[in-house]
Structure 1
Amino acid sequence: MAPKSQQTPADGHDGEMLAAARHLNRRRFLTVTGAAAALAFATNLPAAGAAAAAELDAGKITENPFTMGVASGDPLPSSVLLWTRLATRLFEPGNGLPAKNVKVRWELAHDDRFTRIVRRGTELAHPEFNHTVHVEVKGLDADRVYFYRFRTGDSVSPVGRTRTAPANNARISEMRLAIVSCQAYHDGYFTPYTHLAGEDVDAVFHLGDYLYEYAVTAVGGKRAYTDRRLPALFNRETVTLEDYRLRYALYKSDPDLMAAQAAHPFVVTWDDHETENNYADETPENDVPPEEFLVRRAAAYRAYWENQPLRRPQRPDGPDMRLYRRLHWGRLAQFDVLDTRQYRTDQAYGDGWKTPGPESTAESMTLPGLQQERWLIDGWKASRAQWNVVPQQVTFSRRNNPDGSGTLSMDSWDGYPASRERILAGAEAAGVENLVVFTGDVHVSYALDIKRDAGDPDSRTVGTEFVTTSIASGADGAAHPSNHAAYLARNPHMKYYDGRRGYVKVTLDSEAARGDYRSVDYVTKPDAPLVQGASFVSESGNPGLTPA
């Protein structure tokens, strides 16, 4: 498969040839290299008999193994997913533990002192999964807060707080959530997470770039105020499974991130940097053979699943992983969580900001892949929710370049207008009245009206897009970047633009969707205070943002 600069969209017979090439690439993935074969092992829990494999006496773990804290995710009406990872030595391959199973006890309670235990059990932390633990606790009450913790040997984890979703048919008056994205460790401290940990929200949606593949220096890049010295193994780009596992250890050791993940259940999806910048399906950023890139993708996907609070259906199979999925919050909201990296057509014109043309406007261009497009639209047809929410990665609405050049981002939905039109037509045909899109990626905050015709600012408004800035990526930002006035002038459907770091708190109720933009003025120094930004509402049945 050609590198990005040489590729054109597939159509007709070319599409069949591309599908055949993908099949061949996967065969090569499984057979060409020993590394590929090693990564392609089944990702179910170790096979029958493995439970009787060598087991480490937990009493021999004398150092704290809960150095990455705890997390929970994907709340269902009767179930929660609990996560932790054992590591006595964060920055060593193997976590400082031998290649043996470790027995981990878990408890779920109604109170944070664990006087009213609801469920308890034991799970094995397998070395095959880097001693990560995923516990699916079932049979719980709907719409209820719980507390959880893990134990192994004499060590006890921090206490986490989680909750179940309301029953699918429940009439819910309100849901509060937050959206976050883009946390480059080397660009600064994760201070927004400390503030988010104290927010009263039901869930946090992470929209991608949970980590970055780029090298991190011994002083942690721009984290110059810390006395932590990092080993040289971080000062290289992540490529192997060991690289990605170690990078998650670095990120998850951040105390601000640990606080937020202990405080709220997370719903996660990836963007590009969890694997490699701006990759598209099997096409890497650089001129690397597809089967070689698939080895890297398999490593990245495996480490992602290991280190996120994800359920069993999301376990990867070699270089493939079904991450898109659907969650509900009673009758109030349906969340269709997208994956816009794994199935997309390669970016037109070699990526970047380019003038639209036949390559980018071709009907064959798809951002989520045709199967995921159909899944999304079919889900809308069956939806009974008041709000249909799409957490995803890249900017959905038109963004005209503020420099007046007429160029558009080929990596966002502007580079895939046919795909966006199919989505909007599907929403219209399904009778979706309250469409809300959550977006990350761009390291700035936007509030946008979604127009039925993206190129016509006078066309009908059909939804609302809340774009969250980064947690740290891009280092210190500014409330009004240099292109602030030009951006707003050339995009009248853009109601807000802010370049600082932070997150968006979103409230959904029977009357409106409200977005409250929260930010900090700096991240290259710790402990920045929270700044309350602008707030916007979109009325139910009357899409279009107005200041709150």
Structure 2
Amino acid sequence: MSVLDRYALSRRRLLGVFGASAVTALAIPLESGKALAQVGFRSYPFQLGVASGDPAPDGFVIWTRLAPEPFEIGYGMPMAPVAVEWEVADAANMRTIVAKGTAIAPPELGHAVHVEVGGLQPGRDYWYRFTVGKERSIVGRARTTPALGAALDRVRFAVAGCQHYESGYYTAYRRLAEDNPDFVFCYGDYIYEGRGNRMYTGLGGPQENVRQHFGGEIYALDDYRRRYAQYKMDADLQAAHAAAPWFTVWDDHEIDNNWVGDLDQDGTDPKLFNLRRQAAVQAYYENMPLRASSFPVGTSLQIYRRAAYGQLLNLNLLDTRQFRTDQPCDDKYGASCAEIDAPKAQVMGDAQEKWLNDGLTGSKATWNVIAQQIMMMDLDRLPEAGRNVNPDSWAGYSIPRVRLLKTIRDRKVGNVVVLTGDEHQNFAGDLFLDGAKAEGAPIASEFVVTSITSGGDGNDQRLDMAKLQAANPILKFNNNQRGYAICDVTPKTFTTEFKVLDSVRRTDGKLSTRAKWALEAGKTGIVQA
């Protein structure tokens, strides 16, 4: 049964299917007698750029959202559906069109367009654009995944996330676009939900943010739409979206800091918090290049999913927020309590856990990647005060963590790599059932990728992290600068290159490679490359 069948969405809520036989274009069907709006724009309607995502061997999603006046009520659009033409070409000059059609941008979805393009050739680049009347978007590049089971020499992709708007400029995204990756894995915290603040308190006293959020903390759908608009209007972020297809998942700030299930950090009545969740979930779908299988249903969104890159790599994208039980130890960082070993604790939920286990066990790929949000290494965060963990990481949920690692070990799943964000730092290390004992060979390895901007400029390594790394032998590398990672994958090696900026408080920050760490196929444990 498909996700859409399982959620049993009605035709008034589902995306309709129309277009040429080789192409599937998704759009909300018009109600009987409801006319399309003929729009003349006083401002450029493609202020938020274009994006592609969720590639497959025969196609991908292409996305845009019409918003000529992004911060105004109604964002400059009539409350009526608008027809948007789209084209896909085999070269950047858009001379040879291989697919085209018309999609409907409905007001119910903030005039967002999600087109699922099919019928294309596997493992190659395509380019796309949108047109409304006399207005035309920029051209974006997408890339299909290789044919199922294809033998590949290489896949090269980027990992990024945690892009707090006030903390810095998105120079890292401009450099990421120039790296020309096959795809981008965005691990979450695409937006931050807090109010606009001119100042923040840094280590050296009061500091001024380089730019400021529009408005207060966000709760309603229009609030979330405006916040996404502010982020997406950044030209460097638009460049990264236009450079490659993205696989996106959320973490916490797309809704509220450290939320899990129907619980927020403030103890809000779940009925009220779910109203906020519903608004945030809709806004997330409206602004991401997601397929119809991720269409929101109330507070729910299907974002755990899988993609294959031939025989070389299986990518398992997780959701570690929606199905998780409450954080232990009152969610206090560096805490220790009996709840960490709660037998009924969940990180993924039963259905997602079974899906992941089955996917890992049945994989024939050389590399099995778990692409997710929160650190899986069970680091002792305060080594001078006994063993203490971050309860908002996998270390706060010892039973499901050990259960997953035992599955990988006992079912002999080879070459497992975990990709993580959330920490606003770079980490590289190995995974054991118990990181303090680190008995036997590593079961898997983990690369934690730093933030695009969150945390500000940073430094090479925080003082407390030198002690932490010394007390946690499983941790091989740590760095406290901003940037992204490039993962270069071949049948023999999986190499992660940590790219960092000397500053995000300036638009001319210099990018460099801080370190490279690698795994060799068939062997365990990371080594410096």
TM-score computed with the length of structure 2 as normaliser = 0.92
* 1:353/1:409 contact within 8 Å kept: yes
User: 1:254 corresponds to which residue?
Assistant: 234
Matched, 1:113 2:104: no
User: 1:519 corresponds to which residue?
Assistant: 500
Matched, 1:238 2:218: yes
Map 1:461-476; keep pairs closer than 5 Å.
461-476=442-457
User: 1:537 corresponds to which residue?
Assistant: 518
| One-letter identity of the residue aligned with 2:502 | D
User: 2:5 corresponds to which residue?
Assistant: none
Map 1:42-53; keep pairs closer than 5 Å.
42=13, 44=15, 49-50=30-31, 52-53=33-34
Q: Distance in 1 between matches of 2:506 and 2:368?
A: 38
Q: Distance in 2 between matches of 1:51 and 1:184?
A: 43
Q: Distance in 2 between matches of 1:62 and 1:398?
A: 54
Matched, 1:488 2:454: no
Q: Show structure 1 runs of 5+ residues with no match.
A: 1-40
Q: Distance in 1 between matches of 2:32 and 2:418?
A: 43
Deviation of the 1:220 alpha carbon: 12
* 1:386/1:434 contact within 8 Å kept: yes
The correspondence for 1:331, drawn from 298, 307, 311, is 311
Q: Distance in 1 between matches of 2:440 and 2:518?
A: 20
The correspondence for 1:95, drawn from 69, 75, 79, is 75
| One-letter identity of the residue aligned with 2:485 | V
| One-letter identity of the residue aligned with 1:441 | D
* 1:214/1:236 contact within 8 Å kept: yes
Task: Note the alpha carbon deviations across 1:218-262, whole angstroms, 9 max, x for none.
Answer: 799988667xx87xxx22111011111110000000111000000
| One-letter identity of the residue aligned with 2:515 | A
The correspondence for 1:411, drawn from 373, 384, 392, is 392
Q: Distance in 1 between matches of 2:344 and 2:371?
A: 23
The correspondence for 2:427, drawn from 429, 446, 468, is 446
User: 1:163 corresponds to which residue?
Assistant: 143
The correspondence for 2:170, drawn from 187, 190, 206, is 190
| One-letter identity of the residue aligned with 1:146 | Y
Q: Distance in 2 between matches of 1:422 and 1:52?
A: 55
Q: Distance in 1 between matches of 2:248 and 2:463?
A: 32
Deviation of the 1:380 alpha carbon: 1.2
User: 2:23 corresponds to which residue?
Assistant: none
- Range with bigger deviation, 145-154 or 396-405: 396-405
Deviation of the 1:543 alpha carbon: 1.8
- Range with bigger deviation, 47-56 or 177-186: 47-56
User: 1:352 corresponds to which residue?
Assistant: 332
Task: Note the alpha carbon deviations across 1:380-413, whole angstroms, 9 max, x for none.
Answer: 1221111110110000011111452221011100
Q: Distance in 1 between matches of 2:198 and 2:129?
A: 32
Matched, 1:130 2:107: no
Task: Note the alpha carbon deviations across 1:478-526, whole angstroms, 9 max, x for none.
Answer: 1121123202101111111000000110011111110100010211221
User: 1:263 corresponds to which residue?
Assistant: 243
Sequence identity of aligned pairs in percent? 38
Matched, 1:455 2:436: yes
- Range with bigger deviation, 49-58 or 497-506: 49-58
The correspondence for 1:373, drawn from 328, 353, 356, is 353
The correspondence for 2:380, drawn from 377, 400, 404, is 400
* 1:192/1:503 contact within 8 Å kept: yes
Matched, 1:57 2:38: yes
* 2:28/2:106 contact within 8 Å kept: no
Q: Distance in 1 between matches of 2:137 and 2:198?
A: 28
Map 1:289-328; keep pairs closer than 5 Å.
289-328=269-308
Deviation of the 1:362 alpha carbon: 1.5
Task: Note the alpha carbon deviations across 1:274-304, whole angstroms, 9 max, x for none.
Answer: 0000011011111211111111001101100
Length, aligned pairs only: 502
The correspondence for 1:503, drawn from 481, 484, 492, is 484
Higher relative contact order (CA 8 A, sep 6+): 1
* 1:217/1:235 contact within 8 Å kept: no
Change (3 A) 1:47 1:466: closer
Q: Distance in 2 between matches of 1:300 and 1:255?
A: 24
User: 2:3 corresponds to which residue?
Assistant: none
- Range with bigger deviation, 141-150 or 353-362: 353-362
Change (3 A) 1:359 1:253: same
The correspondence for 1:362, drawn from 339, 342, 349, is 342
The correspondence for 2:416, drawn from 408, 432, 435, is 435
The correspondence for 1:208, drawn from 188, 197, 206, is 188
For the aligned residue pairs, the C-alpha RMSD in angstroms reads: 1.9
Task: Note the alpha carbon deviations across 1:186-234, whole angstroms, 9 max, x for none.
Answer: 11111110100100310000001000000124799988667xx87xxx2
* 2:405/2:432 contact within 8 Å kept: no
Deviation of the 1:417 alpha carbon: 0.8
Q: Distance in 1 between matches of 2:210 and 2:300?
A: 40
Change (3 A) 1:83 1:218: farther
Q: Distance in 1 between matches of 2:523 and 2:433?
A: 14
The correspondence for 1:86, drawn from 52, 60, 66, is 66
Q: Show structure 2 runs of 5+ residues with no match.
A: 1-11, 17-26, 202-206
- SS of aligned partner of 1:418: helix
The correspondence for 1:68, drawn from 22, 40, 48, is 48
- SS of aligned partner of 2:155: strand
- SS of aligned partner of 2:509: coil
Q: Distance in 1 between matches of 2:511 and 2:208?
A: 19
User: 1:36 corresponds to which residue?
Assistant: none
Q: Distance in 1 between matches of 2:377 and 2:198?
A: 39
User: 1:175 corresponds to which residue?
Assistant: 155
User: 2:133 corresponds to which residue?
Assistant: 153
- SS of aligned partner of 1:194: helix
Deviation of the 1:157 alpha carbon: 0.4
Q: Distance in 1 between matches of 2:335 and 2:440?
A: 22
Matched, 1:423 2:404: yes
User: 2:204 corresponds to which residue?
Assistant: none
Deviation of the 1:475 alpha carbon: 1.1
- Range with bigger deviation, 373-382 or 128-137: 373-382
Change (3 A) 1:52 1:450: farther
Deviation of the 1:452 alpha carbon: 3.7
* 2:441/2:524 contact within 8 Å kept: no
